[in-house]
Amino acid sequence: MNKNLAILAAAAVAAAVYFVYSSAGRNDATAQRTILEPGAPLAEVQLPPDLSEAAKIGKRAFDAVCADCHGDNAAGRHGMAPPLVHKIYEPSHHGDAAFLLAARNGVRAHHWDFGSMPAQQGLTDGDVKGITQYVRELQRANGIN
């Protein structure tokens, strides 16, 4: 009998603790949800005043193939894919070859928890170089060199 009471008391304490924590958590989650809808941009990207000819061509391919996941202006999309206008994709950490490999072979999730990137079909190396040029010009306009 005493043992049952002790279990009951422990359960009541656990429930009270859970209630306090879960309501705190719920407030956080609500705040987050109002800030980030699924697919919302993850970075505030400043646009360069103009793009080179190569980058303009790259932008067209990016918008057609990559923007579904990486977002307009490579700003990322909540729940889908990271911003490429981000310090970890600066040229010294992810050189231009990383873009060619990503498009050709896909990317196993390692930096984020969006899941893996599938290989992208129907792009020539020239297309991907144009895309890379576009992303580099966006990065530079945001102080990522």
Using rule CB under 6 A, residue 66 touches ligand HEC: yes
Q: Which stretch binds ligand HEC (CB under 6 A): 10-18, 24-32, 40-48, 111-119?
A: 111-119
Using rule CB under 6 A, residue 107 touches ligand HEC: yes
Which one of 44, 112, 124, 125 is in contact with ligand HEC (CB under 6 A)? 112
Question: What single letter denotes the amino acid at residue 20?
Answer: V
Q: Which stretch binds ligand HEC (CB under 6 A): 8-16, 18-26, 116-124, 137-145?
A: 116-124
Q: Are 132 and 58 in contact (CB under 8 A)?
A: yes
Nearer to ligand HEC, 26 or 60 (CB): 60
Using rule CB under 6 A, residue 69 touches ligand HEC: yes
CA separation for the pair 20, 124 (Å, rounded): 55
The alpha carbon of residue 93 and the mean position of all alpha carbons in its chain are separated, in whole angstroms, by 17
Which one of 37, 44, 68, 72 is in contact with ligand HEC (CB under 6 A)? 68
Phi and psi, residue 109, nearest 5°: -55, 125
Using rule CB under 6 A, residue 59 touches ligand HEC: no
CA separation for the pair 41, 90 (Å, rounded): 19
Q: Are 136 and 60 in contact (CB under 8 A)?
A: no
- For residue 61, count CB atoms less than 10 angstroms from its CB and return exposed for 0-12, middle for 13-18, buried for 19 or more: buried
List contacts with ligand HEC (CB under 6 A).
65-66, 68-70, 81-82, 94, 98-99, 102-103, 107, 109-112, 114-115, 117-118, 120, 123, 131
